[in-house]
Amino acid sequence: MKNKGKVYKDGKIYYSIGRINEKENLIMEFETSLNKRVYERITQGFIKTYKPVMDDRPYRVFDKIGDYRKWCEKFLPEWLGYGREK
Contacts of 82 (CB under 8 A, 6+ apart): 72, 73, 76
pLDDT value at position 9? 52
pLDDT value at position 3? 46
pLDDT range class, residue 1, cuts 50, 70, 90: very low
**pLDDT for 20-77, tens place per residue?**
788 888 888 888 888 888 888 888 888 888 888 888 888 889 999 999 999 999 998 8
pLDDT range class, residue 7, cuts 50, 70, 90: low
Reduce the DSSP state of residue 64 to 3 states and report it. Answer: coil
pLDDT value at position 46? 82
Which run of H or E residues covers position 65? helix 65-75
* Alpha-carbon gap, residue 70 to 46, rounded angstroms: 30
pLDDT value at position 67? 94
pLDDT value at position 70? 92
CA 55 to chain centre: 17
